[in-house]
Structure 1
Amino acid sequence: MVLGRSAGGVGAHVDTLVTGLRELGHDVQIVTADSTACTFGWPDAHRLWPVHGGARAPRGLVDWHRVMRLAGTVDVVHAHGHQAAVVAAVAVARARPRPRLVVSLHNDLPPVPSTAGGRARDAVVRRLVGWALRRADLVTGASTDLVELARALGARRAEPALVPSPAVGGLLRSEPLGLPERNPFLVAAGVPTDRPLVLSVSRIAPQKDLPTLLGAARLSRVPAAWVVVGDGDERLRTRLEDEADGIRPPGGDGPVVRFVGARTDVATWLRAADLFVLTSRWEARALVVQEAMAAGVPVVVTRTGGLPELVGDAGSLVAVGDSQAVAEAVDRLLVEPSTRARQGAAGRAVAATWSTPDDETRRWVDRYATGTSGMT
């Protein structure tokens, strides 16, 4: 497994897949960055993420050599993400004997910058990623648009591969928190208990477009507590919290916005929530949306990436960057308990049909084994 820097869903998916493969008796080696190994508790990981330029260039060259040498000792190299795809493709090209190369795309390529220099850098990135994908024996995408991207960049064989959340099974068996549990839980977090809870679980990062979420909280006409669970860019969080502090609706009876940071009890937050909102600019099959649906929480998400495919008719889809549309969808659900209950039940019913992580691990074993036909 080759993975760069990750603190979120991609790393969590690799962690689940590695655990499942090892439980089935397979030997799995992990090449990643030191920060990723620490985040996911991989003490045996090869912390060889290549370093480029500057004073650490010699170390980077040593790491490249070690990755190439390791690639010659395995049957399959499975890269996760664009950067890892390039690293793995170089390693596999030099490895003897040559292992099979599998690349999984979990995110879209960054948007093309508007400047000439930015466009030139984007062209270089696309050429590098395309070069790596053309050398892969198999490329998978976490959503249909990523499969189409892989094919557009020249992948010889591309297909979807689901990324299930390991928390879905437990949430399907759970029930919403009753008031005796819910109220003390919210009070301990500094969240009002006299109004509905609108929850977002998100990294603090530009891709998540949290300013649109705050804009929706400002425009909402139904009193609610809006809570963001997650950490990330500290400077961005400071700016967002300053903006949230300025939300003072007429009459003082409007929404309250609170950032509670990273939490280990996300499942409990979902069980306490009346509504889940995610305003990302792009997502594949966001793990937290899967979890919200499994918990029976109605979801309002942006119409982007793999979210329409994931949610279907079991949730509310809104345009990217449209705070007004988010506010209207939230207000409608908050004032219509029957619609909220129906949508939550529909989401849970859809979640019950999804493959489990164990199912997907077995599919990956089949992909690794049956992908030998026609491979060089």
Structure 2
Amino acid sequence: MTPVSSHSSMRTVQVLGGGNAASGAHVRSLAAGLVARGVRVTVCAPVEADHTYDFTGVGAEHVHVPRSSDPGSVAALRAACTGADLVHAHGLHASFRTALALSGRRTPLIVTWHDRARADGPRAHFLRVLERRVVRAATVVLGTTSALVDRARRTGARDARLAAVSLPGPRTSPVVDDPDRLRPKVRAELGATGRPLLIAVGSLERHRGYDVLLDAAHAWRRLDPVPLVVLAGEGPLRGELRRRIEDEELPVRLVGRREDVADLLAAADIALLPSRWEARSPLAQEALQARVPLVATRVGGIPELVGDAAELVPYGNARALADAVVRLLDDPERRELLKERGVRQAATWPTEDETVAQVLSVYDELTRPRPLI
């Protein structure tokens, strides 16, 4: 990237809460791109987020701001935002705290919705109230999918736009192993030698649809050889899923949180995404880039993201999920077609440089001096 000297006087504050992996990686990528263009960047986030994403390593200032449950977080944010040309918050809770911190100030507030907040019962109503407060306080709402933009507009946003959001590349360049050697090595470690390997990655939470995935796994037990399903991730449903796997003797392994998702995908025959809701799913993007056929639910931003480069099934339909996998396993030509389509679809996604450029154009628009009338 080429630094742009005209932005050397601009100071932005990026606000991140606990942050999921996608929003944390995005803020790091955005901070790096802005700093490279001469923008002064302060990232307000819990200290553990800086340990994970190393905002200071790309030239940003990091200010520790406690999570939303801490009563000192709004005061800390208000102090950190003093003198900023604009503030950019990521995620619902971080955005709500930022709106409170900027109360009474004329500092422009940009909010990015990376995903939709999920809850049931009374908490769902509470989250809808937060959404309304946030979008009405925001100068601009950026949604990572058309569905999120539409939701922001329905909720009362004055200005909601589709955001260009890239899948950031790896922070370091790992030593590239021989793929012909790596694939059998990973498959052997997982216990998938001589059998199809199906991979799903994500937190073990209700909205991921893993209960439906286990229902589908019953049908795969009748195949010869029986596919192995590997779930990589941690979360509150681990115990429940483990009991079902054991009690129902399902061909599924829980392997916990993994740092080698790229290696898992390189070894996989099919990637699975059975979620109830997804925005710009990192797994979907990584699978298509890695030339791994994807079976996903037709929800949220998935159809817009993958186009015709994946097999899409209705959420909650275990039979449709099971049948789609069986068809792909029986049809190597279809798998190859999806691989080629995946590469073409991935080429249409915004790059990190394009993402930064779009965000910076919004910043310029909001900080440009207004002509005197």
What TM-score, normalized to structure 2? 0.86
SS of the residue 1:313 aligns to: coil
CA-CA distance at 1:277 after TM superposition: 0.5
Question: Which runs of structure 2 are paired with 1:1-376 in the superposition (5 Å)?
Answer: 1-42=14-55, 45-49=62-66, 52=69, 60=71, 62-95=72-105, 98-113=106-121, 118=122, 122-167=124-169, 177-178=179-180, 180-187=181-188, 189-220=189-220, 221-222=222-223, 223-233=226-236, 236-248=237-249, 256-372=251-367
CA-CA distance at 1:274 after TM superposition: 0.9
CA distance, structure 1, for counterparts of residue 230 and residue 45 of structure 2: 33
CA-CA distance at 1:218 after TM superposition: 1.7
Quickly say closer, same or farther: Cα 1:63–1:6, change in 2 above 3 A: closer
Aligned residue number for residue 252 of structure 1: none
Quickly say closer, same or farther: Cα 1:256–1:126, change in 2 above 3 A: closer
CA contact (8 A) 2:204 2:233 kept: yes
CA contact (8 A) 2:310 2:338 kept: yes
SS of the residue 2:158 aligns to: coil
CA contact (8 A) 2:31 2:55 kept: no
SS of the residue 1:30 aligns to: strand
Aligned residue number for residue 6 of structure 2: none
CA contact (8 A) 1:3 1:31 kept: yes
Aligned-residue sequence identity (percent) comes to 34
CA contact (8 A) 1:192 1:225 kept: yes
More moved, 337-346 vs 189-198:
189-198
Q: Where in structure 1 do 4 or more consecutive aligned residues deviate above 6 Å?
A: none
CA distance, structure 2, for counterparts of residue 258 and residue 247 of structure 1: 13
CA contact (8 A) 1:299 1:315 kept: yes
CA contact (8 A) 1:175 1:295 kept: no
CA distance, structure 1, for counterparts of residue 254 and residue 299 of structure 2: 24
CA distance, structure 2, for counterparts of residue 373 and residue 49 of structure 1: 32
Counterpart of 2:44, as a letter, is V
SS of the residue 2:88 aligns to: strand
Counterpart of 2:66, as a letter, is W
CA-CA distance at 1:50 after TM superposition: 5.3
SS of the residue 2:199 aligns to: strand
CA-CA distance at 1:346 after TM superposition: 0.8
CA contact (8 A) 2:68 2:93 kept: no
CA-CA distance at 1:373 after TM superposition: 6.4
CA-CA distance at 1:112 after TM superposition: 4.8
Aligned residue number for residue 10 of structure 2: none
- For these two proteins, the number of residue pairs brought into alignment is 348
CA distance, structure 1, for counterparts of residue 104 and residue 79 of structure 2: 8
What TM-score, normalized to structure 1? 0.85
CA-CA distance at 1:92 after TM superposition: 1.8
CA distance, structure 2, for counterparts of residue 291 and residue 372 of structure 1: 35
Quickly say closer, same or farther: Cα 1:124–1:305, change in 2 above 3 A: same
CA-CA distance at 1:176 after TM superposition: 9.9
Quickly say closer, same or farther: Cα 1:122–1:353, change in 2 above 3 A: closer
Greater per-residue helix proportion:
1
CA-CA distance at 1:100 after TM superposition: 1.3
CA-CA distance at 1:355 after TM superposition: 1.4
CA-CA distance at 1:110 after TM superposition: 2.5
CA deviations on 1:232-278 (whole Å, 9 max, x unpaired) are 33xx2122122223343xxxxxx721122222221121111111101
Return 5+ residue gaps in structure 2 as ranges: 1-13
Counterpart of 1:85, as a letter, is S
CA distance, structure 1, for counterparts of residue 73 and residue 348 of structure 2: 43
CA distance, structure 1, for counterparts of residue 19 and residue 51 of structure 2: 10
RMSD: 2.6
CA distance, structure 1, for counterparts of residue 280 and residue 291 of structure 2: 17
SS of the residue 2:41 aligns to: coil
